[in-house]
Every structure is written in C-alpha cells, then in structure tokens.
Amino acid sequence: MRIVFAAGRAVRIMDCAAVLPPIVFFLRVWYNVGMKKKATVFIILIIIFTCAVCACARTQETPVAAELSYWMDMIKDEALITEMAIPGAHDAGTKGMVSIRETQNKDFAGMLADGARYFDVRLRLKDDGDIIFYHTYDAPLSYEEYLEDIEEFLTKHPTEFLILDYQHRDPAESAFDAILFDMLEEALGKERILCAPEGMSDIEFVNSLTLGQARGKVLVTLGADELPEGYDFVMKRDTNEEGREGSVLHSPYVSDYNKKADSQEYIEKHLDEYIDMYSQFDGGICVLQCQLTQMILENTEAKHDENMSPWIRALKTDKERLGAVNVIMRDYLNSKKCADIVALNAAKGLVKEQRSEEFSALEEKFAAYD
C-alpha cells in the first residue's frame, strides 16, 4: 500500500489484497481462450483494474467523536425503538474484501464507536468450519471477531442497544442457524438478547419496546420463512422483495431502483416510494436503504453521498418524512454519516432535556463537514 497527500488529504492509492483476486481470475481466463476472445477479456480486465484502483482512492476519515459511542445515553428512556433515528451499516462485515464488493471500510468496533447501531449481517460457513462474512466473495472478518466486538462494546456501553439483522446465510439451513445462535448466546449471554415475553407476539413486543427496556441488549432478526427451534429470541424479518407473516423488521428493496437509478433520481423518486411502503406494515422496525448497489466502490458512494447526506439533514424540517424514518442504512459508514442520522432524534423530540446542550454540541462538531 502507498500513501500520498493531495490537497491536504491522505489518499490510499492501492490495496493489492483487494485488487489481485479478480485480476488473477481474468488472467487465467485470458490465457485459456482463443485469440479472437483475448481482446474482449483484456478489455474486461482493464475495466476491473481501473475500478479497483478507483475504489482504493480513499479520502481521510472524518474525526471520531467520543459522544457517538454513547449517543443513546442522551435519548429518553421512553423513546420507542421504532420511532428513533438509528444509523445502520449495509453489508456490515465486508471490510478488506475484494474491492468491487466491499461496502464498509471499518470493522465492527470502528462502526460501533462511530455510532452505528444496526448491522446487516451476512455469514458463510466454509468447508473447514470457519464462519466468515461475505458479499458474493469471502471477507477476511470472522464471526468470532464480530461477537467479540459486540460483547466488548455492550460491556463498556450498557446504555446502547443494537439490532443484529441476520439477513443472508450460506447455507440458509437450520443447522447453520443453530451454530450461529449458539455462538451468539455463548458470547453475550441470554440476558443480553431481547425476547418477547410469553403471551406476546414478536411484533407486539417490538412495537411496544422502549429504549429504556432495550439498553445493553441486542435484538436479533433472521431472514427465513421458518425460525429455528429452540431460539425464542430470534425474530423474523421480511425478504427484501416481500413481507413475511409475523415479521418485525422491514427493509424494502427494489433491484431496479438501487442498481439502475442514478443518485439524484434515486433520492428524488425512489426513497419516497420506499417510505410509502412502510404504511403497509403493522408497525415494526423499518430500514431505509440509502445505498446504491449498481457499482459498490467507495468513490461511487462518495459521489452519491454529496446528494444523500443533504437529503438526510433536510429531514429535520420535513415532519412527514421525519416521522416515517427509523433505521437509515448507508455504505461506508463513518462518524459524519452517523452524526447526521443521530441528529434527527432532536428533531423527533427524543433527546433528554438535561442532555440537550451536549447533544447540540455534538451536532455542531460535525457542522463544518456539511
């Protein structure tokens, strides 16, 4: 890796670990095809190499604010979790993987410190028994590291609450689910995992759940039609495309919107369509997908962010949209993006009166980065 400085900003030029896998693959293809096809494969190789280099042109991180590690401590105990504005990480475990599939550049400890409280969790069981995060390709981050980060964070910050959304698994089988949730119970202890009391449905429980009841704990959702037996704390989440009966978490996703729309079109048209979809649900946690997925590169997200972050900040004065948003999910989550989302809780009237000055100071700290 080489570092240069441009206009006072540190820029990472290339991370060979991320660039090499797709290049090696296409070199092998190039070697084995006939001469007529070599030109086509070579062009594809150049495109991938260019994209990988662009993906590694990364600007310096926004500053860490210690207040973001305990921002929920400034929120009223009686605040419903379904009404709060919560920063979320899309494809949360992808740091360090092949650059064309990476969506985050921090591990869980880093994202937690920056204020993230919702995590899109995607796990794969390898042939050797290791459990790793993935997004088409394998990521270097292990499930054990993730559990250690979650446990350590909750021990140090018992005022916080986390949503762990097990959206995708490979394989999507009950035996693998059992392994995942046994490990989660062992790492956190069952007392730290929220569970609906007997006689109350999961959706009734989530709709009535306050931050005061949830502090120091996690809420676990799973993308499955049938929940694994023996794990009462696991709750259903919808598929991206359609609902599931009894689901407590909704995250509408239309592929054509996120993959084909440009940034401005997506924000001006499709975000409102997603928000309108929330009305069909019987409450629950609603996740707004604010990322574009047609080309997952950090420089692409940086361009999208020039439009996306102002839209989020403008929610403060847009009462109708403000009341609808709950979890706001982003790519390449950092302290500034989290701070913008956290700040919405003041406009929602959810900040403790005795902590309002501290909360306002946190907002002002990041105002210079607008």
* Confidence tier at 177 by pLDDT (50, 70, 90): very high
Q: Is the pLDDT of residue 313 over 60?
A: yes
Q: What percent of the chain has pLDDT over 70?
A: 82
The pLDDT value given to residue 133: 96
DSSP readout, 192-204? GB--PPTTS-HHH
> What confidence tens digit (pLDDT) does each residue in 97-148 have?
877 788 999 999 999 999 999 999 999 999 999 999 999 889 999 999 999 9
Do 312 and 290 form a contact (C-beta atoms < 8 A)? yes
Round to whole Å and give the CA distance between 114 and 59. Answer: 17
Instruction: Indicate the SS3 state at residue 213.
Output: helix
Which of 182-196, 249-263, 271-285 ranks highest by mean pLDDT?
A: 182-196
The pLDDT value given to residue 297: 66
Do 170 and 125 form a contact (C-beta atoms < 8 A)? yes
Domain 66-367 class, CATH top level = alpha beta
Do 341 and 50 form a contact (C-beta atoms < 8 A)? no
> What confidence tens digit (pLDDT) does each residue in 83-94 have?
999 999 999 999
User: Among the residues of 169-317, which ranges form H helices?
Assistant: 174-188, 202-208, 211-214, 255-260, 263-265, 271-277, 298-314
Domain ranges of the chain: 3-55, 66-367
Q: For all residues of the chain together, what is the average pLDDT? A: 86
Kindly report the pTM of this predicted structure.
0.86
